[in-house]
Structure 1
Amino acid sequence: MFAFASLLALAASAAALQVTQPSNSSGWTTSGPNTVTWSSVSTDNSNFSIVLNNQNTYPQYNEVLEALIQTSEGSVAVNPPSGGWVAGTGYRVNFVKNSQDLSSLLAQSDDFTIEQSSSSTFSAVPLLRPARPRPLVPCQSPQPAPPPLRRLARESASNTDSSAGSSASSASGSSSSTNAAPGLNVQTGVYGLLALLGIALA
């Protein structure tokens, strides 16, 4: 009876959640995402978190790669951690119930190696667009510089003097005309008097 129960327990553990890749014969590279695959049964947890572990380093290396993966998916491509993949041996992939409690182990892969890849993990730099030619702008003749302040002041003073002279000439002409007017009136009076005198003598 005890042997039968042991066989049932062994069969149940063999059918439970298992990591099938990566493995000893199929590891990862340092280039781009890497794939994790697993097998499961209906009694397994509905989700789990994937942790990359390496016990050969000190302190022990643990990096959460994916959280709350659906068990029914069967496989997932995991992206590199923030520092990128580090080439080396002794790596394992752990499935844990909670990413906050890395000791809640559900399944663990075999030891595997991350090999240095010859291809770059960085995307190609996009080609630079050719510079657009700038439209030609017609040359403009330079604007004449404004005259100095002293020149403006001199011209203003000259214009003022000219205006004053013109005003003086006009005033002089008017005065001459005014002065000439009384003489003309006197002559007219004399001629009139002589005319009356001639009539009287006749």
Structure 2
Amino acid sequence: MDDNDAGPTAEPIEPASPDEFGLVQVWWGDGKGKTTAALGMATRAVGHGYRVHLLQFMKGGTGTVEDVRGEYNAIAALPGFSYENAGHYGWHGFLDGSDDDEHAARAKGALDRAREIVDATAEAPADEPFGADAPADTGVDMLVLDEVLYAANRGLIDPEDVLALIESKPDSLELVLTGGHDRPAYLFDHADLVSEVSKVKHPLDAGHSARKGTEY
């Protein structure tokens, strides 16, 4: 086979600056796939040498999900990709023994952390790529705020504070917000991409628990 017929091939990853980042993405709905889509896109970004950080608001763990998740192991193996989990154990409002006040405190802390990263990105030199091993609070190219919309839906954080975060972001930062079953209409005028992930059928409805390798 001629080398030209082999198709795309993997290349070494070197830190780089994206030319076309800077949009706001919203992934919401009652279907499975919001976080999955964001993680897939983040993987694509780090494959081009861009710096990506995942900040999770409401996935602190439950009794049916192991503490070590597949995405964390994969992220740790990828240069330029990092994560933080600010979520409280359990799930807000599910009467699972977790403290709802602690859920709120953790969500507010995550929003403060997001502001730190956004502000650092705004202050970073515009003409220099972010180092793959540099801390997220020195700036990133893509920031994924996972489950932030659930936190806003449930009153753990103020939707107006989410809007303020969007308005304060630098033009170069790609901001991705996921979560929430409630329609986040307050975001639509401020987002460049809005995708609703709708459930047609889900194995959880038939009694299947979260599965290792698909849900965590």
TM-score range, shorter chain: under 0.3
Relative contact order (C-alpha < 8 Å, sep 6+): which is higher?
2
Output the TM-score relative to the length of structure 1.
Answer: 0.25
Which entry has the higher C-alpha Rg, 1 or 2? 1
Say which structure is richer in strand: 1
Output the TM-score relative to the length of structure 2.
Answer: 0.24
